[in-house]
Chain A
Amino acid sequence: MTMQILLPKLGFSVNEANLVEWMVADGTQVAKGDPLYALESEKSVQEIEAPVAGVLKIMKAAGEVYEVGTVIGEIG
């Protein structure tokens, strides 16, 4: 079952954040809890873990700012 990776809201008055880098390559098999990507929002850079196990499909490139809720990838 494919799970969408949504850009989260981390912080108080943020509605967007910078997807700093993907920590695994497109197509990699990840386990739940593996570091997946780094997110920079108002306070700091946070590491976001894989919410489920599966194969990562990257849908948005790193190095860009996206709105909270943007589908940045899928794990299936």
Chain B
Amino acid sequence: MSPKELPSRPRPLATSAAERIAVIIEATEKAAASVIDDAEEQASRYLDEARAEADRIVAERLRAVADELDPPASGARQAPHLKPVESPQPDEAPKSAAAQRSRNGSAGARLLATQMAVSGSSREEIEARLRSGFEIEDAAGILDAILGPED
């Protein structure tokens, strides 16, 4: 057997194993980094798309409800707390605390009615709740907008 045919001298086991592990770790880390980058990018894109779609659906629904009840003088109405609150324009007159509370209450009443409708409450139940919680005696407008007009 010529020297070339001789099997190469086995390297010490620990060295061999350590090198192999190092190679495996390096390859794994590269692959993981690539997977993480891809996954993060994909997750971020998916999340952004999902949020945008959810915001759009909720905003459209609540805007439709709000407009039907109280048509805006100009511009689009903000859905209650589900979309960012717009900062007041510098030339806008400051609203009184009472007016602000009233506006919040109105938005709250609509959200209450929507959530109750979505969770399966009847027209009568929502009406009773609006009466007790918001002292709204005639809730027909809100209810018609959410549930459709009564037959």
A and B: interacting chains? no
